[in-house]
Amino acid sequence: MIKFLIKGLLRDKRRSILPILIVAIGVFLTTLLYSWMMGAFNEMIDGSARFDTGHVKIMTCAYHEISSQIPNDFGLTQVGDIVNDLDEKYPDYDWTPRIKFGGLLDFPDENGETKSQGPVMGIAIDIFSKNSKEVSRWGLKDALVSGRIPQKPNEILISNEFAQKQDVRIGDVGTLIGATANGAMAVQNFTIVGTITFGIAPMDRGAIIVDISSAQYALDMENGAGEILGYAKNMLYDSERTAIIQDDFNSRNMKEDDKFSLIAITLEQQNGLGDYLKYARSAGFIVVLIFVIAMSIVLWNSGLMAGIRRYGEIGVRLAIGEAKGHIYRSMLIESIAIGIIGSIFGVMLGLIVALYFQEVGVDISSAFKNSSLMVHNVIRARITPVSFYIGLFPGILSNVFGTAISGIGIYKRQTASLFKELET
């Protein structure tokens, strides 16, 4: 029976081509949109984790309360011991200290007078340690526009946009003017050894990268840091695992009456990323639901048109004694075959286009030029295992649903009037 129905679809192109095209287009859009949304969501989550939040962040309770102000006077002490303890208790995560600081970077002319100066956002990371993954985590080698990675104390990387704005070059010395962790004035000379483009608008405007040992000396934070970030070894955020680490760490270290006790917070508890992740997790379902409803309506209308075109055929089948239920089921089987064929073509096309956008991406830097969000300037699609089958469900279900609605008309046909209908 199924073989007979498939032959009928292949021989009568009017019954198959239009529904297959509709299904293929819908599945193509579903697959592409889902892959694009997953790419955009993951770019934001991954960028925030790498450059700001980590998967888990350790800090003092006092620092956490006003963390947006970067209060290094409430920072961590004895960081080496804390990191060693974290490595021992949570070996499946990589722990690294960081210091954030702000200040004014002043560049003198040949006479020692100020030639140019500008505000900078400083980020101190562990560049020199042999086992540190910070250079690769930040993608510093790929981000280099000119120069090299710092190899000695008091060498810095500055954003290429900031370097052009201040008219400075590799080898120039800039004086950082800021505040130490003790509230005194910090004045330290740094040599520019490289310029980089982060691909994130707020950082490209005026960020500098320095090894944490140099920042500790300049800011009077010996063996100190503002925060310690933890990353899963595979760099994939696991909300359940991070919640376990948070509960275990806080139960041992957090004390309500001690503002300098340590506290752990997860990625989801920072910068509103929790709500963002919830939305991202439901986005796939929303996409599928929208396209199932939209395609069902379209395919319902298509089924009604096909039913009108096949009015005589159905009448003959009823006249020769074929049961209405059998005709209805055969139409559903036809719709399943059409849904499968259209879905396969749609998924293939959607994956091809998604692969292109995964490799090339779309530059959205103009939309976030003045934004402070850690969003990559280039958003790329991301093909996940779900991308291979998420379009199949709306493709098949919507076609079957549309046929089921339009096929109800079969049961409204009156057998007594069939011959009169066929005569006309």
Token pair of 308, please? 């009108």
pLDDT at 213: 92
Tell whether the model's pLDDT for residue 309 goes beyond 70: no
pLDDT at 113: 81
Q: CA 379 → CA 16, 31, 38, 236, distances in Å?
A: 37, 17, 10, 19
Whole-angstrom Cα distance, residue 239 to residue 97? 21
Place of tokens 């376990």: 244
Q: Are 5 and 330 in contact (CB under 8 A)?
A: yes
pLDDT band at 130 (very low <50, low <70, confident <90, very high): confident
Domain boundaries, the chain: 2-48+275-423, 56-236
pLDDT at 193: 94
**Mean pLDDT taken over the chain:** 80
Greater model confidence, 45 or 242: 242
If you average pLDDT over residues 104-114, what whole number do you get? 85
pLDDT at 329: 79
Q: Are 67 and 269 in contact (CB under 8 A)?
A: no
Whole-angstrom Cα distance, residue 198 to residue 337? 49
pLDDT at 9: 54
- Residues 6+ positions from 123 with CB-CB distance below 8 Å: 51, 98, 99, 100, 207, 208, 209, 210
Greater model confidence, 224 or 338: 224
Greater model confidence, 16 or 217: 217
Greater model confidence, 382 or 316: 382
Tell whether the model's pLDDT for residue 230 goes beyond 90: yes
Q: What is the pLDDT of residues 155-171, one digit of tens each?
A: 999 998 889 888 898 99
Q: CA 87 → CA 232, 242, 306, 405, distances in Å?
A: 12, 15, 66, 60
Whole-angstrom Cα distance, residue 125 to residue 178? 18
Greater model confidence, 345 or 380: 345
pLDDT band at 307 (very low <50, low <70, confident <90, very high): low
Of 94, 92, 82, 126, residue with least CA distance to 249 = 82
pLDDT at 245: 93
Q: What is the pLDDT of residues 14-62, one digit of tens each?
A: 556 777 787 888 788 888 888 887 777 777 777 788 888 899 999 999 9
pLDDT band at 95 (very low <50, low <70, confident <90, very high): very high
Whole-angstrom Cα distance, residue 204 to residue 281? 30
pLDDT at 372: 46
pLDDT at 190: 94
pLDDT at 39: 79
Q: What is the pLDDT of residues 314-372, one digit of tens each?
A: 666 666 777 777 777 777 777 787 778 888 888 899 899 988 888 887 766 555 555 44
Using a 10 angstrom Cβ sphere, with 0-12 exposed, 13-18 middle and 19 or more buried, the burial of residue 198 is: buried
Whole-angstrom Cα distance, residue 188 to residue 238? 40
